[in-house]
A and B are shown apart, each in its own frame.
Chain A
Amino acid sequence: MKRIIGRLMQMLGTLIGVSFLTFCLTWLAPGDPVSMLLETADTVVSAELVEQTRHDLGLDQPFLVQYVNWAGGVLHGDMGMSYSAKKPVVDKLLEGFAGTLLLAVVTIIFVLIISLPLGIWSAVKRNKLPDYIVRGLSFIGVSMPSFWIGLLLLYFFGLKLRLFPIAQSEVTAAGIVLPALTLAIYMSSKYMRQVRTVILEELNHDYVVGARARGLSETTILWKHVLPNAILPLITLLGMSIGWLLGGVAVIEMVFSWPGIGNMAVRAISMRDYPLIEGFVLWIAIVYMVINLLVDMSYSWLDPRLKKEAR
C-alpha cells in the first residue's frame, strides 16, 4: 500500500513536470495562435479584435498565471476549449481515444496470435531451422520503419488486391485490419524475440529437468509447467506495449487516416491548437502511467510470492 502511494506521488510529479514542459513550449514557440485562429475566418483582422481574442483566451496574462489557471481547470476535469474545433478539449480527446483504444485492442490480439506461437516454436526448436526463420523474420521486422510497413500493406492489400479500404473517416471492421496488422507486425518482431528468451530461460530451470526425469512428455511440460511460469514477464512486456500503443501510433494513424488520438494531435499541432496539444500530452502521460501501475500491481496478484518479498 505504501508503495502504491509512493508511486502515485511520483506520478503526480511527472504529470506536473510534463504538463509544465509542454506549457513552456507553447509559450516559447514561434507563431501566434490568435492570428492563426482569426486568419482562418478569411477576413482582415483589426488590432482590437486580436487584443480582444487574446484577452478572452487568457493569453494576455503572465505565463505562470496561465499555467496555474489551466492546472486548476484540469483538476475540475476542464482542460479548456480547443481553438480549432470550438469544443471542450476533453470531448475531443475522448472522441479520438475511442478510435485509438479500439485499434490498440485489435493490435494486441494480432500480436498475441502472431508472436506467441512463433516465439514458443522458436524457443523449442532452438538453433534449428524454425528458430532461424523466426529470428530472421523478427530481425527484418525490427529494421523496417513501421510507417513503411503500413504503406506497403496499403499498396498491396488496399490498392492491388482491393481487399481493404485505403482510407476511412469512420471506424469500420474492414478498415481496422490493415492499421492493426501494421502495428502487429512491427510489435511482434520485438515480442517474438522476447517470448523466445523468456521460454528459453524457463526451459533451463531445474523443474523442467525434474519433469523430464518423471517421464512427462515435452508437450505437457511446455503447456502445464513452462507457460504458466512464463506468463508473468510476458504480461509486463505486453503492458508496456499497450501504453506505447495508446500514445505513440500517430504515424500509423496518419498513414491509414485512422480517426485516433495521434492523428488528432498531429492536426492540432499544425493548427497551433495549444489547449488540445496540452490536453493530449497530459492525457497520454496519465494513461501510460496508470497502465504501468496496473501492470506492476498485477504482479503480486499473479505471483503471490512477490507480495512477501515486497514487504
Chain B
Amino acid sequence: MAHTKTFSHGHGVSNVNMDINMDVDSNLMSRIKANKQFSIYSALVVLIILVAIFAPWLAPQDPLVGEMKNALQTPSAEHLLGTDKMGRDTLSRIICGTQTSLFMTICLVVLVAVVGTFVGTMAGYFGGKIEMVLMRFTDMMLSFPGIVLAIAIAGIMGGSVINTILALCVVSWAKYARLVRSLVLKIRNQDFITAAQLCGTSTKMIIWQHILPNTLPMVVITAAMDIGTMMMEIAGLSFLGFGAQPPTPEWGLMLNEGRQYIQTAPWLMVYPGMAIFIVVAIFNLWGDSLRDILDPRQT
C-alpha cells in the first residue's frame, strides 16, 4: 500500500486522504440504503433502546414491590406473565430488566473497546519496549479462558453491577488490543503519517486526528458484533449469583430465582430467558448486517 503513494507530498496528502474518506462515506450511505435488512434490524434495536429508556413508564406494575398474597400466580389478565415468589409482576420485571441489561452491556462494550483501543494504539504506535510489555500482557490474557477468571473476579470482589462490568472488562479487552495494534501498525507506516510528523504535528494530534479515525470502523464492527455475547456473559454471571443482586430486575438473576420454582412456576424461568434470547438475537442480526455493510469482504 505505502509505496503506491510515494508521489504525494505535504498538504496534498491530507487531500488524498480526505477524498478516500468521502468516497467511503458516500459508498457507505448507498450500501446502508441498499441493505433493507439493516434498516429493519436497526429499527428493532431502536425499539429495544426505547423500551429500556421508558421502562418505568411501560411497566404495568412496580418491578420491586409485590404483595406476598399474590406470590407465584400463574399468568392471568392482571399479571400477563405471572408473579414471582414475592408477588412481583414478571412482565414489569422483564421490561425493567431491559434497562439493567442494556445499560450494563453498553457500559461493558464501550469500556472494553476504549481500554483495548488505548492499549493497542500505545503498543502499535510507540513500538519497542512498550509494545513488548503490553503485547505480552495481552497474549497472557488471550491464552486463558476468560470466563473462569471473570467468575473468580466478580465472585471474590462481591457481586454487583459495577464489579460484573469490571470483571468482564478485565478478561475481554485483549481481543480489541490485538485488533487495534495490527490496524495501527498498518497505518503508522503510511506516508500521510510521515508527512504529518514532518510537518511537526504533535504525537497526540497524530493519534487523535489520523490514527484513531482510521481504526474506529473495525473497532465499532467488532464491538457491535460482541454486544450479544457480552449480554449473555453478564446474564450468566448474574445467574451464578455474582452479578446484579436482588431485588434488581435483571434477566440472569430472575432466571436464577425462577430456577428454584421450576416445578411450580415454570413461567419464571421461561419468560426472562425468552427476553434474553430475543434481545440477543436482534443484536446479533444487527451486528452481522452492520459488518456486511462496513466490511463486505468478509461475507
Residues of A within 8 A of B (CB): 10-11, 13-14, 17-18, 21-22, 25-26, 28-31, 139-140, 142-148, 151-152, 154-155, 159, 243-244, 247-248, 250-251, 254-255, 265-266, 269-270, 272, 277, 280-281, 284-285, 288-289, 292
Contact = CB atoms under 8 A, between A and B. Distances in A.
Contacts of A272: 156
B143 A292 contact: yes
Contact of A143 (B136, B155, B280): B280
Contacts of A13: 136, 140
Contacts of B228: 143
Contacts of B140: 13-14, 17-18
A284 B136 CA distance: 20
Contacts of A285: 144
Bin chain B's interface residue count: 35 or more
Contacts of B240: 250-251, 254, 266
Given A26-B156, A247-B147, 19 more contacts: A21-B149, A29-B156, A143-B228, A143-B280, A144-B280, A145-B232, A145-B239, A147-B239, A151-B273, A159-B262, A248-B147, A250-B240, A251-B236, A251-B239, A269-B156, A270-B155, A288-B143, A288-B144, A292-B143
7 contacts: A21-B149, A151-B259, A243-B145, A254-B239, A269-B156, A270-B155, A284-B145
A147 B145 contact: no
Given A25-B157, A30-B158, A151-B269, A144 B143 contact: no
A139 B284 contact: yes
A285 B142 CA distance: 11
A248 B263 CA distance: 27
B152 A22 contact: yes
B67 to A, nearest CB: 27
Contacts of B145: 243-244, 247-248, 284, 288
A244 B240 CA distance: 18
Interface of A is mostly: helix
A178 B262 CA distance: 16
A31 to B, nearest CB: 7
A271 B127 CA distance: 44
Nearest to A147: B239
Contacts of B266: 155
A14 B144 contact: yes
A238 to B, nearest CB: 15
Interface string B140-177: 10011101110111011110000000000000000000
B277 interface: yes
Interface in B199-252: 228, 232, 235-236, 239-242, 252
Contact of B262 (A25, A144, A151, A292): A151
A214 B241 CA distance: 61
A143 B259 CA distance: 20
A269 B155 contact: yes
Contacts of B91: none
Contacts of B277: 143-145, 148
Contact of B269 (A21, A155, A265): A155
A143 B252 CA distance: 14
B116 to A, nearest CB: 18
Interface in B9-67: none
A148 B152 contact: no
A30 B236 contact: no
Contact of B158 (A29, A151, A289): A29
A22 B152 CA distance: 8
B273 A25 contact: no
Contact of B148 (A30, A147, A154, A284): A284
Contacts of B158: 29-31
